């Protein structure tokens, strides 16, 4: 009985240690992002080039986590539409992610080919990232945590969650998957 108790106690201690390390790692990542603005972020594109958000100063930015095998993929066409209709004052940036239902299993090259072939996507597409969990991409950590973005906490529940940033780099709002990029909830900020 004593051996079982010691074994259980060891397991609990190990579990707490691992959980504490993850928590500390998350806090460290958050501290590294404190004081940053959207313009401090640079990410890799699908084709390996750099997307520098500082290049988008003076324009609104619509950031979307995407997935090629999701039921919301018709929104790629909507994203392309708003990208074209408001190109003088808006930049759309897609971020493929495989976090929900394993609906983005492809490589960056496969994702790029799919988006171009099926939807004629011309807006910037970042390399595949994670948008939740311990490996959340820094830009999504920034967008989802009020302590970092200064506006609100957001939990990304599915693919095609959208974040709209104003022309001064301030988060305006986030929008759930069912809100299309062409919906008034978003376009009212673009007129």
Catalytic sites, residue numbers = 70
Q: What is the DSSP letter of 41?
A: -
Distance of CA 13 to the CA centre of its chain: 34
Distance of CA 85 to the CA centre of its chain: 23
Tokens standing for 186? Answer: 């978003």
Q: Which of 167, 171, 135 is nearest to 154 (CA)?
A: 171
74 CB neighbour count, 10 Å cutoff: 13
Q: Which of 53, 59, 61 is nearest to 186 (CA)?
A: 61
Q: Are 180 and 72 in contact, with CB atoms under 8 Å apart?
A: no
């Amino acid at each position: 009985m004593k051996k079982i108790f010691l074994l259980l106690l060891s397991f609990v201690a190990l579990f707490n240690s691992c959980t504490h390390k993850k928590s500390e790692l998350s806090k460290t990542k958050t501290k590294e992002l404190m004081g940053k603005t959207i313009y401090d972020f640079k990410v890799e594109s699908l084709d390996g080039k750099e997307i520098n958000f500082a290049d988008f100063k003076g324009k609104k930015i619509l950031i979307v986590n995407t997935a090629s095998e999701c039921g919301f993929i018709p929104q790629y066409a909507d994203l392309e539409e708003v990208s074209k209709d408001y190109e003088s004052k808006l930049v759309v940036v897609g971020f493929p992610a495989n976090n929900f239902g394993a609906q983005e299993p492809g490589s960056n090259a496969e994702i790029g080919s799919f988006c171009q072939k099926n939807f004629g996507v011309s807006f910037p597409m970042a390399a595949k990232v994670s948008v939740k969990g311990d490996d959340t991409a820094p830009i999504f950590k920034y967008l989802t945590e009020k302590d970092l973005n200064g506006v609100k906490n957001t939990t990304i529940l599915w693919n095609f969650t959208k974040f709209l940033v104003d022309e001064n780099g301030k988060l305006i709002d986030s929008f759930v998957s069912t809100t299309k990029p062409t919906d008034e909830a978003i376009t009212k900020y673009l007129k």
